[in-house]
Structure formats: C-alpha cells, structure tokens
Homo-oligomer: A and B are copies of this chain.
Amino acid sequence: MKSILIIADGLGGRPTDQAGKTCLEAARKPNLDGLAAQGAVGLVDPIGPGIRPGSDTAHLSLLGYNPRELYTGRGVFECLGIGLDVQPGDICFRANFATVKESAGALLLVDRRAGRIESGQRELEAALDGMKLKTPGVDVAFRASTEHRGALLLRGSELSPYVGETDPHETGAEIRSAEPMAEGRAARRTADAVNELTRRSYELLKDLPLNVARAKAHKLPANILLVRGAADCPHIPSIPSIYGVRGAVIAGGALYRGVALACGLESIEVEGATGGLDTNLRAKAAAALKALETYDLVFVHIKGTDNAAHDHQAAAKTAFIERIDAEFFGTLLGGIDWNTTHVAFTGDHTTAIDYGDHTADPVPVLFAGPKVRRDDVTTFDERAAARGGLLRFSGQVLPTLMSYADRSPKYGS
C-alpha cells in the first residue's frame, strides 16, 4: 500500500473571500471534485475547534502529534529545513538580514528585511557561517534561505532556548539586546552569545563588497543579522518508527521540509519547487509519482495558496487552486494505481483574504483510495465538506491515512 498526503497551505477560506464564496468554492477544479466523488470528505480543525493555528503547529497536529506536548518553536524546523544538522542541545533561531544605521554607537533599525534583498545571500551566508565568538565553547552555524530569511544554530554546552529576540520590530528603534528569559547560567550565556553574534554580524557584513555595491545602487545594505524564536530540539517519535514506513517530503518552503525532516521523512529536491506562486506543480507531481515507486509515503507541501491569501489576493488564490487542480492533480492522477494507493488532501489552516492571516475556521479534507468509505459528496470545498462522511475531527490526517494503508500501530491490545 502506498500513501500520498498533499497539504495546500492556507487552503481554507471564508465567504468574504470572493463575492460570497471561498476561493475553493469559486475555483474550477474538476480533478479535486472527482477525488471527492470517488472518496470521502469532511472538515478538519488542524489543531482543534476555535484554535487559530500556526503553520508549524498545524503541520505537527495533522501529522499526528500533539503540538502542546512537543512544540518548542519554529526555529528548529527552519534550521532543519535549510539543511543544518540539528542535534539535541542545539539552540535554533529564525534569522533575518536587516538594515541598520549607526548613531552615537547605537544600531538603529532602518528596515527589518534589508529591502527584501533578492540576491547575494550566499555571500552573506559565507561571511556569517562559522563565526568565532568570545563567549567560550559556542559554535555558530548559519544558512540563508529566500530573500532576507535564514536560520541560525548555536551549539555548545550549557545553552538554553529561554532567550529573547534582537529584532525591535520598529523602524528607528535600537537593536534589542537579547535577554535571558529563565534563571541560571545557561540562559545568561545564550543571551551573551546572541548579543555578541548580533554585533559581530554587523562588523562582518557592513563593508562586504555586496553591501558596498548595494549602497552604490541605492539599495538598502543587508548589514546585520537579527534572530528570534529560540527553540531547542524536541523529541519527535519518527513516522518510520511509528508506522514502519519509509517516507519522503517534497516541499519548496524550508519550514515544511524541516517539520517533515524532524518527523523522520527524507527530503526530495525538485527543480522549480519554490514554495511560491511560481512553483512548478507538474514537476512536484511527477516527483511524487516517482517517489511512490520507492517510498511507502510521500508528503507534498504546496505553499502558494497561503502566499496569495496573506497578500489579500483572492483572484490569485483561486487561480492557484485551479493550477493545483489542473497541473498538480492533473499530473498525479494520471499515474496513481487506485488498487494500492490512498490519497489525502487538505490545508493546514484557513487563510482569509480580507484578514490576510490564519483563522480558526476548519478546513476541508478528502481521502480517496480502496479502503475509504465513499460518501455522497461530489464537490471539494468548505461547505460541501461539512456534508461529508468524515464529519468534523481535529488533526490526525496522517494517522488516518496510515490506517487506510493498514500501517497504524494498535493502541492497546
């Protein structure tokens, strides 16, 4: 038995999205409607009713974990997703390049995204990765990702995740000094390391050829690294160890790849998978079909739906859903063996167009495959899903899929 789980980020919508309809209701999506007709649908609360999910906590919950037990923060998944080797005891941070100006010895924030820097990230990364600190016994690893984003990892004895951020989140404000948020030597030492590396990042970056060139071109220099979301590595029982399956993840966004890696899946790189609206959906579907030849489980994450909704772009979200239907599912369904494969499709939360952020509204979910109790619903959207055979439940989409594949561990005997 093979299993494929597809999560379209921020898939769910509200009637305020597009003239009384959600984007999913407005979209033409014959392949998804066909899957709904062939399988069973329902509504899933990614974490629970009334809980407004983050993307990281929602993914953990949909994958079958209780985020209240094991979520430590986003930094871990960003570090993993970006290719850093995260070990127990390491402290992980989300990081971003920013622009500061010096004024009487203080560093004042000009732009917390360094003008959404579009190129040269490798040069910035090389300058920061492996920097030496005076704080003894602390190693620094840094990776840049897209635009101003990156991830930073501290390794050493006596480090703590209880440390505040350095981003003042306010233009003109002085760069924050990271504060220890717990008693004891470890939090103090970690805060010292963070403050030292912040100041040092400014020294390492400010005169870099890239920034000299950006200044000449009247662009904002990426002259400091700010960090936030300190987290240590949670113990997550792996999907292979729970279900006895080998699994792969295909995701353009580092966070989602990171969550899947933390859960024991292996990452498959797909050329053109960007984590944006410009992603190559046909290539992702083709890669998923190929992966199904050797893996028991493939998890595909598609990000564009969420990007469009965060930007309040209803037409773009609807058009992207239509592309998911035509390009991703159009390709995928051509290669599925329905005798041996179960497909699950859902979103990790609702992202409302007018609000431009996640909401607690539940999300439609579908399962199709030989073991699924088919229902009467022949359309895949929020309101049709409320009439489906799976009714309403919380999280646990992967465990349900694994049970259809007869790979679930028995709880009790």
Contacts and interface: CB of A to CB of B under 8 A. Distances in A.
Interface of A: 14-16, 22, 43, 45, 47-58, 64, 67, 71, 74, 229, 352, 355, 357-361, 370-375, 382-383, 386, 388-400, 402-404, 406, 408-413
Given A392-B392, A400-B49, A373 B22 contact: yes
A67 B411 contact: yes
Contact of A371 (B15, B67, B375, B406): B15
A276 to B, nearest CB: 19
In this complex, which of A357, A370, A371, A411 has the most chain B Cβ atoms within 10 angstroms of its Cβ?
Answer: A411
Nearest to A47: B411
B45 A393 contact: yes
A399 B51 contact: yes
11 contacts: A15-B372, A15-B374, A49-B395, A49-B400, A51-B396, A54-B413, A57-B411, A57-B412, A361-B403, A375-B386, A392-B393
Copies of the protein in its oligomer: 2
A361 B406 CA distance: 11
B373 A382 contact: yes
A371 B64 contact: no
Nearest to A352: B371
Contacts of A394: 49
Contacts of A47: 411
Nearest to A12: B373
A412 B53 contact: yes
Contacts of A374: 15, 383
B383 A375 contact: yes
A396 B359 CA distance: 14
A400 B55 contact: no
B53 A358 contact: no
Contacts of A15: 370-374
A391 B389 contact: no
3 closest A-B pairs by beta carbon, nearest first, are A54-B412, A57-B412, A50-B399
A84 B349 CA distance: 43
A399 B50 CA distance: 5
